[in-house]
Structure formats: C-alpha cells, structure tokens
Amino acid sequence: MALGLLAFSTFPLFTALIDPLVSRKPLSAFDLAKAALSLVGVGIVAPAFDLGNPQFQGLAWGMASGLSYAVLSIGNRDMVPRLGSLKLAFSEQAFALAFLLPFALGLEMRPTVAEISLLALLGVVFTGLSHSLFIDSLKVVRPQAASLASALEPVYGILFSALLLGQFPKAREVAGGLLIIGAMALPGKRPWGSLKKGKEA
C-alpha cells in the first residue's frame, strides 16, 4: 500500500510542470529541481526496474494515476467558476461510475449490508465531499498549492495502514517517501528566476 500511495503522491510534481504550460507562465527552475529530487525518491522506492515485476507495475500505475490527477486538477480550476464545485464533482464521479460499472458487474460477489454501508460512507463522505471541497478550493488557490496539501495523503494512508492493517513500510520506502513528500512540501518559488525570462525593459 505504501508503494502505491507514494507513487500517486508525485502528482504535485506533474502539476508544477504542466500548469505553467497551460497558463503560459514561466517554468521555474526551482520546480524542475524539486521534480528531479522527487524522481530520485521514486528511484529509491522502486523495488526493481523490471516491467515484469508486479511492484514496479504498481509504481508505474501509481505515477500514471498521479499524472491524470494533475491534469484533472488543472482542468477543474478552469471549469469550477462555470459549473460550481458540487456539479463538477458529481459529473466526474458519475463518469468514474459509468467507466467502472462494467468491470464491477463481472465480479462474482454478494456484499453484505454492512459492506454496502461502508462503501456508501466511503463514497459520499470520504470521496464525494472531500473531492467537492478540493475542487472548491481551486477558486482561491493555485493548483500547485492545493496539490501540496493533498500530497500529505500518503502520510495519513501509510500511518493508518500500519495501525489498522499492520502493513509497515520498508526502510527503502520511508527514505524515498521522505524525498518525494519533502520535495513537494518545498515552496514553489525561489529567487533563481525562471527558465523563461522576459526581456528586460
């Protein structure tokens, strides 16, 4: 679980790199330095660079998920003023439901009432409500800042995974995770300037 959470937590890195291209703002050299530091952390976390390794596949899928979430966050910033956070969150969750429903129907399972109740709690409170609040925050903060706040998710996830499931991260995952989360927690601007400076007057 720690490996997947840490891989997903790279999405602030993708946000910092993609957002300047979309908003046509200068790309910060400091953001590139943070990206490099984050990639070093991913390299430490990676069990082996082997496409046949299930853990490496999980790491790759986690980073792909982080990339897609970064694109979603940037798109939400532009759409939330027109649609509102609740309508936008509902539309996105409805799309996810429509996409995943065919796969769920193929599973042979009979959930109990307790399991359905827990799924409803997970979907309504811990997904729908939190996602709506995250989208609403994009009205007043930049996607990079919102992404940094969300980057703490692996910390909570790994902590509760250890407490509730007894799944403790390995030393390699802790070291790489500290680099990834530490890089994302650094401020987004430094007086080094940008890679794309305007002409001096």
Is residue 190 in some structural domain? no
Query: Does the residue 10 lie in any domain?
Result: yes
pLDDT of residue 146: 66
Going by C-alpha positions, the residue among 28, 127, 122, 19 that lies closest to residue 73 is 19
pLDDT digit string (tens) for 86-145? 787 788 878 888 888 888 787 777 778 888 888 888 888 877 787 778 777 767 777 666
Q: Is residue 197 included in any domain, yes or no?
A: no
In a domain, 7, yes or no: yes
pLDDT in tens, 42-69: 778 777 777 778 888 888 888 888 888 8
82-121 in b/e form (b: 16+ CB < 10 A) is eeebeebbeebbeeeeeeeeeeeeeeeeeeeeeeeeeeee
Contacts with 191 (C-beta within 8 Å, 6 or more apart), sequence order:
none
Q: Which of the pair, 175 or 184, is modelled with greater confidence?
A: 175
Has residue 82 been placed in a domain? yes
d(CA 95, CA 61): 20
Find the domain containing 29 and state its range. 2-185
* Out of 11-25, 37-51, 102-116, 145-159, least confident range: 145-159
pTM above 0.75, yes or no: no
Q: Is residue 199 part of a domain?
A: no
User: Which region among 14-18, 72-76, 106-110 has the lowest average model confidence (pLDDT)?
Assistant: 106-110
Residue 198 lies in a domain: no
Q: Quick check: is 131 in a domain? A: yes
pLDDT at residue 201 in the model:
41
DSSP β-bridge partners for residue 28: 194
- Please give the Cα distance from 37 to 168 (Å, whole number): 24
- The count of domains in the chain is 1
